[in-house]
Structure 1
């Protein structure tokens, strides 16, 4: 195994396209993916940056969410994460990784499109742990429509808006009274907020709104000692890709690094934003785009 603490060529560190064509039904699963995603299982080393914190991660069963759960656990945090009912097997693997790191894992089935389920989630976490130190709003939905805006149904539009925006708004609003001074809210936005791909128009709209929400909320709660930031990934190799995009063979090839990111490459940004060392950073967007220039 390559020592992750030694310098590595970012161009060749992880698999590069062309990938085998692959297609899954939503929400997608990690197991069939080729190449398999890297969540940091063999590379992430914690140093106690988040010791005894309580972190809530939505969409933590796979992809970026799983990588964040793993990294937070290895940094010493207890983890609560959400997943959809059909993602039960994925959730078990995230639970295993967290518990293997010696931390508590609480996997909760929750659909953040429903306000009452968001309320029940916060109630369960606070009953169990008494507080929420870190809230990571990561759950998202997308579905590419190459045929244009006419192909985006009201049903799809509602699902994208409610998953990506309503759920984030409700959970943050409900969690804030339980976040102590020194706590953090970290949102997942996207390069799509700045450079929208036409087939992902509705998804890109929500990611732009998340940037605005992050910057506005950060000012609103600064005096309460709570920081609010976001991570804007570029193309990342997660189950959402074969489940929502029509062409996976060249996914990520347009990046200046010539490949998509692996989930493990996103997790350090979330750790940095949650850790005490970033105490003067709030209202910021950490762009992790593989070199794609952004405004």
Structure 2
């Protein structure tokens, strides 16, 4: 059975990722778009979620591709209307919001899915399997990109709830929490805030590994050279390097796998499977690390940022 879906928020990520993934999956039919400023050819358009819910009661699933600050209100309204909900990452601007949505979905008997697209990169399962039989000695995350390239003119990322450099950094944390065979927790964070912004532009994180491994992450949004999304691991039996955000994996310096960008296609396949099973997926472990970073982080002022 094909599920009728509405996409809320028609920005860059919706056009680049969500719409192609939906059209490429026979389990889904994109029936409507909700946006005040944009439309999608060939589907119903509504300016507000209220208009959608009033005029298209046949739509079963709502996918939210909007900034995290207003997401709770939209998600809660859709859940109360009996709709299944997909949440673009991060699933909310606070843990309390996310837990409240999880409880509401359970109460309404519908599916909710906190999507972490980087977990669905091609090489992530391979690194997880490789690590499952090894002892980690050192793990280093380097997630460095140019905010002007990936978020041109988007002011919401610099406002409270927008998370700043943790908007991409949480992608790395979603991979970390997926591939590790155990839990780790944050012990220290250094956060660099532009003096004219409310969220950080760079962060250095240190984790406590139960086995004593040296584990850290370095996020930076000022990187103008080659974009870097790497995880390097040294173990008792060899080393691994996953790059391109999970599309390329090297083992002991030799290419083991090179994939392609299937992340959002895999997300919508996962959502279809959740609906068929009558289940939800609201893993918040990446979000916990971000909240801990803001709680533990030592704040350092740096140069103003302007687009």
TM-score range, shorter chain: 0.3 to 0.5
Of the two structures, which has the highest relative contact order with CA contacts closer than 8 Å and spacing of 6 or more?
A: 1
Which is strand-richer, 1 or 2?
2
TM-score between the two structures when normalised by the length of structure 2: 0.44
Which has the greater radius of gyration?
2
